[in-house]
Structure 1
Amino acid sequence: MDGYLNPESADFESRPRYYIGQHDSHRPDAVTDEQYHRFLNSGFQFVTTPITNQHFYDRVVELYKTHLKEREAWGLSDAHKTNQSLPGPVVPTLTNKDTSYGPSNYVGSLVAYASPWIDLSSEDTLISSISRQVLNLELAYAAFCGARSVIIPGPRQDENGRAVMQYARAIQEALDVASRINIIIQMPMFREPGLEEVDLTLSEVFGPTKDKTASGPQEIDLFSAWDSWNSVRSVCKYNNRLFVAIRIPLRAPEKDLQERWFSEPLHYLTLSSKVFQLNKAGHPTLSRNQQDLINRYMRLKNSPWLLLSDVGSDDTDITTRKAEENIVDFPTLSEAANVPKRSQFPPLHPYVAYLKHLEKKQPPFTAMEAPALVSFQDWLQSPLQPLADNLESATYEVFEGDPVKYNQYELAIAEAMKEWKTLAKPVSSANNTNLVVAVAGAGRGPLVTRVLRAAASTGTAIQLWALEKNQNAYVYLLRQNELQWNGQVTVAKTDMRGWPGPDPSRNAKVDILVTELLGSFGDNELSPECLDGIQRHVARPYGISIPESYTAHLSPIATPRIHADLSGKVLLDKNAFETPWVTRLFQIDFVAAEKVPGHPRFQQAWEFVHPVEVSEADRFLAEHGASARYATQGTGSMAGSSGTNEHNARHCHLTFVCRTRGVVHGLAGYFESVLYRPREAGREKVEISILPDQIDRKSRDMISWFPIFFPIKQPLYFPQDAELEVSMWRQTDDTKVWYEWIIEAYAWAGPKTRIKVGASDMHSSREVGCRM
C-alpha cells in the first residue's frame, strides 16, 4: 500500500481527508453521465442533483392555480380561507416528463436535493399540503432509484413556532416515507444577513414576499437556527437517519455556537461562493477563523463532507479541449505519447484546488488521534466489574498500553521510597531493613515491574508482594516472577480483602500499598470497597497508599449522537438510560459556562482518601461480631444490609451556570487522583487526571481511562442564563454500589426570584450496579 501512494502521502495521510462535493442551486435537471464525469475530472468526489425538473414545478403551480379558481367557483373569494371539509389539491404521481433522474451505476455518488421551492412551514395550509406531497413523492422516487441521501432545505424562519413545528412534522413523515434514506436538513450556522436563501418558495410566488434587504441594524439571535434544528430532531426522536448540513458563515461566530453545532450529527459543511474572498492573484480564500472552524470539525470520527455551493462547474470545457488538442477517446500508444501533459490530468476546479491546499495545511494527527483511539469516540462500553468478573488477558493488555499512567505510578513509588529514606521512617520487614511493598490487584504485573524499577533507581531494598484473585492472571504472574523478576516477588492468589497480611504470625504490616483500582469516575470500580478490606495491613502511622486520594467530577453536556444511540439500545436493554457508560466523549458540547466564580464548568462531586484510620467494617465487626455482618434485617441504615459500607456512600449537589440556551442529555464524569503527596515542603505531588482542563498539565496523553457518561431519558431544554442543579448519590447495600442522579433547570424571573423550568427523571443504576 505504501508503495502505491504518491510521494506526499506519508505526510498527507497523517491528516483528515477532505471529501468535496459540488452543488448548483439553479441546476435545472438531473446530472447527466457526461456532467458527472466532468465534475470528477475537476476534482469533485460527489455531486448534488435535483430529483424533479421545471416541468414538474410548472405542473404543481398550475395545480395550485386551478384549485384557487375552483374555490372561487365555490364562492370562496378569499384565497387564504377555505372550508376545511372541502377536498384540497392532490399532486399526481411523477411522470417521465417530470424528472430525468433515475437509477445509474453512479447514483451512489449523487446526493439528491429536494425542490427548494416547496414550503413545508407555510401559513397557507394548501401550500404546506402541496409541499408535503411534493417532498414525499420526491423522496419515494429517490429511494426507488437507489439514492442514499437527500438534502432538504431547512425552515426559512425561526421566530414562528407554529411554522417550525409544522416543518418538523413533515420531516417526521418523510422519514417514514423514505425508510432507508438519510435525510439531511440544510441549516445556516446562524441567520447571517446577506446569506439567506434566494430561491422563491411557493408561498412567496403566490403571496407578498418579505423584504430580505431591510435597512438599518438588525439584532441577530445566534442560536435561533439551532433552536429550529433542535425542534425538528426532537419531534423526530433523534432518528439515526436524520442529519444536518450547516452553511459556513462569512463571519465565524462565537465559540459557544461553534461547539453547539460540533456536537450535532453533521453530514455536510456547505460553503457558498459568498463566503470566499479573492486574494491578490484572484484565487478564492477563506479567513483564518473559517479555516480553524473547518479544521475543528474535521477531527470527528465521521468527519463531515464539504459541499461547495454555486461555485461553477469547471473552467475548461472538455469537448473544446478535445478538439483543440486533437484528443481521441481511445488513443493508440503513439497517440497517447503525443498528448500534451496537461491534457492527461485535467486541472482541478479552483475552489477544489484551494480546499486541497487547506487539507494539506491541517494540523497533523496527535498521539490522542491515533486510529485506534478515534474508533472509540462516543462508543458506549459497559463499566467493568473487576470484583465480580475475571478479566481476560486482552483486557489487561489494553490497560498496559498506556506508558503515561505507569510512568506516573513509577514516579510516585520512587518519590515515596526517597522520602522514606530521607525521613528515616521505620520499615515493617522482619529484618528491619527491607521496605514492605504490596501490589494489590496485580493483574499481569505492570505495576510490579514499576515497583522493582523504582526500587532499583532509588537503591531501596524491598520485600514485594503481588496479590491477584484472578486464577488465570495468577498463572501469568508466576511465570513473570520466574522469567522476568528473578523470583524477587511473592505471588499470592487471593482477594485483597481476605489477604491475612505478609506475616500473620507476627501481625506484620505493609509500608507501601500500590493499587490501580480506579475507574472513570474514580470510585466506580469499587476502589474504596477494595481498599477497605486491605488497608488494615498498612503500617500506622507511616504507611502509604498509592494512590492516596481521588476525586470525582461532573459537568452537564449535550451529546445528541449518544442520546440517539441509547434510544436504539433501550429497545433491547431496558436499563440503557440507567447505566453509567464508559465512553471517549468527543462529539459533545459542554453547556456550562467557563470561569464563573464559584461555579466552574467541572465541579467536584466527592473525594476518597486512603488509608482510612478506622473503617466502618472494622468498627462493626468489633461491635457485633463477624456473623452479624451478613444479617438480613435492620442492623444497618439500608434495609436488608448491615450498613458496613455506609461510610463509602456519598452525595453532592452542584450548580452550573449556562449563558446560552440549549439542551442537556446527561452528565460527563471524570476523576483526578493524587498518587503521592510528599510530606517534605517544596516537593511536588504526583498526580493523574482525566479532567479536560487538567489532563495536559498532570498526565498529558494518558489514555487508560475514558470519561463516564450518566444519561437522562428525556433531553432537558433550558433557557438563556439558566442554572442547572445536579444532584447525585453514591449508594450501597453492602452487596453492590450504584448511582442515582437528577438534573433540574432554573431560570431567573427577577433579581431574587428563580423559577424551575424543567427537570429530568430520577435515574438509578441499581439494577446494573457494581457488585461487591
Structure 2
Amino acid sequence: MTAFQLEFGLFEDNPQSRLPTVLSAFATPKKIAFTTVPIRSAFDKGRYEYLTSEACFRVLSREEASRSDDADSSGSSAEDSGISLADPVKVNDKADKPIILFPFTPDDSFAVAEDATRFVSEVLLRPTNSKPIAWFHMPIYGNQPPATPSKFPSRTVALPEEARSAYFYWHRAMVQTRYSSYLSLALELHATEDTVARDRWLSEPVSCIIIPISLFAAPVPLPARLSVFHRATIHSLLQWNQCKIMVRLDEAVTAAHLEACLDHLRREFSKDLPYVPKRRHLSPTMQPLYYNLCQSEYSGFEEDLVKYDQYEKAVGAALGHLRVTRKPIASAGDPAGTIEEEKFIVAVLGCGRGPLVSSVLKAAASIQAKVKVFALDKNPETQAILKEKLVTVWKDAEVELIYADMRGWRPAILLDIIVSELLGSFADDECSPECLEEPEKLLKPDGISIPTSYSNYLEPVSSTRMYRELRARSFDSRQQMRVFGWYRTPCLKLAAEEKRVLTFFQGPPGKDVKVTLRETLVDFVAVTDGVLHGFAGSFTADLYGGFTLSTVQGKETPGLFSWGVIFFPLLEPVRVLAGDQIQLEFRRCGDLFRIWYEWRLRSPRSSPMHNVDGDALEFPLYFSD
C-alpha cells in the first residue's frame, strides 16, 4: 500500500470577481497554482481545445509551499511567488491538464450525455500524449431548485428522496459513453446528513470532493471544522478514490474564515491514506485443480489465523464426539478394568504446506486424543516444506505424507475424520463436491467430514467501479461474462439481504453429493433505486459442532479474510426502482471434465442466458498439461 498527497483547492462559479481579493487578504501569504477548468459548451469536431474556461485554484501542499518559500528567500520574482490568473489552456498544453467539467442539468441530461460521448470519442480516444481530465459535477443529493441561477449544483436546498435524480443522471452518461474509464465524478457535499444517500456514491469513481464553505462551523468562538458526518464521508471516499478536495466559496466568505477552513482540511486529511493508485479491485477466481498454487498464494492463506482456529475447534469437537460415542467398555478378562484408547485416523485432503495438519494435531492434544494423520497434497511445490515439517514441527506426531490426487487415493484402512479446505469464494466454485465424492467413500459409517455442509448466497448489487473494470478487462462480450472475485470493495446493495442459492452436504456414503445440474430461481425485492450491474456471491460453511466460516454480510466470521466476494456480472446493466421484483435464474452445470455456472435475469427485465455451456468461464476438474 502506498500513500498519495492530497490536493486542496478553491472552487467558485465566477472567480475573477471575488476570489483574488479574498486571497490577497490572507494574513499569511499562500502560494497558489491555477488550473483551467473548461465547462460544457457547444463545440464542433476539431475545436474542442477552445472550450469556454473558468478558473479553478489549487493550493500548494505544505511541501510545495516550503520549496516556494525557499525559492523566494533566494531571490525569486514576484510573478513566480504571487497570485496571478492563468490564461485558458489548450488540451495539448504541457502544463497542468485541463479539467472538462460537465455540469448537472437535469432538464438537459440527454444533451449532456451526448456531449460527453462526443468528448470521449473526439478528445480522449485520440492518440495524443496529453489528455484532459473529465469530471461530471454531481450533487450528493439530487434535484435542485429551478430558480438557482448558477450553472452548478445548489448548496442550500435538496431533499434526500431526490437523490436518484443525480444518480441516474450520472449513470445515463455512463451508458452513453459505454462506461468510459476517462470519466469520473466531482461530488459536491450537502448540509443534509443522510447515510443512505451518501453510501450510494461509494461504489462510484470519484476524483474530486467539493465542500461548500457553508458546511464549516464559523471560526468564532469555535475553530472552523466539518461535522463528524462530513468528515466520515470524506474519509470513506478517500479510502477508495484518489481525490482532490475543493472548497466552494460564497459571496460572504472572508479571508480569515477561508484560511481556517483550509487549515482544518490539512490537519484532518493530509495524513497518509491507504490507497493504491489505479488499484485493481477484481481478481480472477482460483482454479487449483487446473493449476498448482504458488508459494506466495499459500503464504497469503496461512496468514488467516481465524480460519485455522475455527478448524482446530471443529476438529476438537469431532474428536470429542467420536470418543464419547465409541467409548470402549472394559473387558471382563482385564483385571485392571482398562483398555487402550482408540487411535483416530484423520485425513487432511489438500493440505497445502500443512497448516491444517498442525490444527488437527493441536486439537487432538487439547483433548488428549491419539491420532494418526494422513497429509495429502498433489502440488509438487509443497513437498519440500512438508518433508521439513515432518522432521521438525511434527517430529513427535504420527503423520504420513501422501503425494497424490485425493480422488485416486486408496488407503488400507477406513477413516474417522476427513478435513478439507476446498472452499472458494462461492463455496463450491473450486469443485469441492466433486473432489470429495470418492474420498468420502473411505469414511467409517459414523465418520465425519469437515466441513459437514456449505451454502452459497447471492444478492443484487450496483458498482460502476467494478463493472467498468470488468469491461476494461474484456475484449468481447463473451469475456465480459467471466466471474471475478473482489475484496472489500464497496458496492450499493439493492436488496435487504442475501438469498441462499445452493447447499452441499458432506459425509459418509449415502448422501447425495453428486449432482451434475442444479437449477434454482432466486427472488429479491429492491429496497432502493439503483442500477443493477450484477450479483455478489458469498458463502457459509458449517465445519462441525457449531463452528462456522462465513463471508455473508451480517453473518461474517470476525477477522476472516481468506475469501473475498464473487461477482456474476450482467452483460447490460438494468435500472431498478425501490419495490421492483428482481428474479434471477441460476444454474450449476457439470460433466465428467468440468463445472460451470449459467445465469440470467428474469425480472424486472429479461436478459439472455450468460455463460452458456461454460463459453466464458469453466472450472476444469483435471490438471492442465
When normalised by structure 2's length, the TM-score is 0.81
Structure 2 vs 1, CA of residues 303 and 92 (structure 1 numbering), >3 Å: closer, same or farther?
closer
Supply the AA of the counterpart residue of 1:609. F
- Distance in 2 separating the partners of 1:405 and 1:650: 28
8 Å Cα contact 1:151/1:186 also seen in 2:
no
User: Does 2:606 correspond to 1:762?
Assistant: no
Pairwise CA distance, 1:500: 0.6
- Deviation string, structure 1 residues 206-225 (Cα, Å, up to 9, x no partner): xxxxx9999xx999623111
Structure 2 vs 1, CA of residues 89 and 580 (structure 1 numbering), >3 Å: closer, same or farther?
closer
Pairwise CA distance, 1:713: 1.3
Aligned mate of 1:170, from 88, 110, 115: 115
8 Å Cα contact 1:192/1:249 also seen in 2:
no
Tell me the residue number matched to 2:502: 606
8 Å Cα contact 1:154/1:186 also seen in 2:
yes
Structure 2 vs 1, CA of residues 40 and 25 (structure 1 numbering), >3 Å: closer, same or farther?
farther
Tell me the residue number matched to 1:626: none
Pairwise CA distance, 1:227: 1.5
8 Å Cα contact 1:17/1:359 also seen in 2:
no
- CA RMSD in angstroms comes to 4.3
- Distance in 2 separating the partners of 1:545 and 1:39: 73
Q: Trace 1:229-628 onto structure 2 (pairs within 5 A).
A: 229-253=170-194, 255-278=195-218, 281=221, 283-300=223-240, 302-310=241-249, 315=255, 349-359=259-269, 379-424=281-326, 433-486=342-395, 488-501=398-411, 503=412, 508-540=413-445, 542-571=446-475, 575-592=478-495, 594=496, 601-611=497-507, 613-614=509-510
- Distance in 2 separating the partners of 1:581 and 1:734: 24
Aligned mate of 2:167, from 226, 234, 240: 226
8 Å Cα contact 2:141/2:159 also seen in 1:
no
Moved over 6 A (4+): 13-17, 29-32, 38-41, 88-95, 98-102, 211-214, 311-314, 374-377
User: Does 2:135 correspond to 1:184?
Assistant: yes
Aligned mate of 2:549, from 688, 697, 708: 688
8 Å Cα contact 1:271/1:309 also seen in 2:
yes
Structure 2 vs 1, CA of residues 176 and 469 (structure 1 numbering), >3 Å: closer, same or farther?
same
8 Å Cα contact 1:553/1:671 also seen in 2:
yes
Supply the AA of the counterpart residue of 1:654. V
Structure 2 vs 1, CA of residues 377 and 523 (structure 1 numbering), >3 Å: closer, same or farther?
farther
- Distance in 1 separating the partners of 2:347 and 2:541: 19
8 Å Cα contact 2:185/2:206 also seen in 1:
yes
Pairwise CA distance, 1:148: 3.1
- Distance in 2 separating the partners of 1:18 and 1:242: 20
8 Å Cα contact 1:558/1:588 also seen in 2:
yes
Supply the AA of the counterpart residue of 2:233. L
Tell me the residue number matched to 2:13: 25
8 Å Cα contact 1:545/1:610 also seen in 2:
yes
Pairwise CA distance, 1:309: 1.1
8 Å Cα contact 1:663/1:718 also seen in 2:
yes
- Distance in 2 separating the partners of 1:147 and 1:191: 31
- Distance in 2 separating the partners of 1:732 and 1:90: 52
Structure 2 vs 1, CA of residues 39 and 191 (structure 1 numbering), >3 Å: closer, same or farther?
farther
Supply the AA of the counterpart residue of 2:103. G
Supply the AA of the counterpart residue of 2:588. R
Secondary structure of the residue that 2:92 maps to in structure 1?
Answer: helix
Pairwise CA distance, 1:94: 8.1
Pairwise CA distance, 1:478: 1.9
Return the index of the structure with the highest Cα Rg. Answer: 1
How many residue pairs are counted as aligned between the two chains?
575
Pairwise CA distance, 1:614: 2.9
8 Å Cα contact 1:556/1:668 also seen in 2:
yes
Structure 2 vs 1, CA of residues 561 and 382 (structure 1 numbering), >3 Å: closer, same or farther?
same
8 Å Cα contact 2:38/2:100 also seen in 1:
no
8 Å Cα contact 2:14/2:54 also seen in 1:
no
Secondary structure of the residue that 1:22 maps to in structure 2?
Answer: strand
Structure 2 vs 1, CA of residues 702 and 675 (structure 1 numbering), >3 Å: closer, same or farther?
same
8 Å Cα contact 1:467/1:491 also seen in 2:
yes
Structure 2 vs 1, CA of residues 93 and 670 (structure 1 numbering), >3 Å: closer, same or farther?
closer
- Distance in 2 separating the partners of 1:711 and 1:93: 35
- Deviation string, structure 1 residues 359-407 (Cα, Å, up to 9, x no partner): 49x9x99xxxx77xx8997622222221121222222111111111111
- Distance in 2 separating the partners of 1:93 and 1:303: 27
Which consecutive residues of structure 1, in runs of 5 or more, have no partner in the other structure?
1-12, 65-87, 111-137, 202-210, 317-346, 595-600, 617-644, 678-684, 747-756
User: Does 2:44 correspond to 1:141?
Assistant: no
Structure 2 vs 1, CA of residues 228 and 92 (structure 1 numbering), >3 Å: closer, same or farther?
closer
- Deviation string, structure 1 residues 165-188 (Cα, Å, up to 9, x no partner): 111111111123432222011111
8 Å Cα contact 1:550/1:607 also seen in 2:
yes
8 Å Cα contact 1:554/1:670 also seen in 2:
yes
- Distance in 1 separating the partners of 2:3 and 2:47: 49
Supply the AA of the counterpart residue of 1:553. Y
Tell me the residue number matched to 2:520: 652
- Distance in 2 separating the partners of 1:762 and 1:713: 8
Structure 2 vs 1, CA of residues 394 and 569 (structure 1 numbering), >3 Å: closer, same or farther?
same
- Distance in 2 separating the partners of 1:386 and 1:92: 54
- Distance in 2 separating the partners of 1:94 and 1:438: 69
8 Å Cα contact 1:716/1:760 also seen in 2:
no
- Distance in 1 separating the partners of 2:45 and 2:18: 25
Supply the AA of the counterpart residue of 1:759. S
Supply the AA of the counterpart residue of 2:607. A
8 Å Cα contact 1:578/1:765 also seen in 2:
no
8 Å Cα contact 2:584/2:603 also seen in 1:
no
When normalised by structure 1's length, the TM-score is 0.66
8 Å Cα contact 2:373/2:399 also seen in 1:
yes
Q: Trace 1:662-701 onto structure 2 (pairs within 5 A).
A: 662-677=530-545, 685-695=546-556, 699-701=557-559
- Deviation string, structure 1 residues 410-429 (Cα, Å, up to 9, x no partner): 111112222222333579xx
Pairwise CA distance, 1:451: 0.9
Pairwise CA distance, 1:31: 10
Pairwise CA distance, 1:709: 0.7
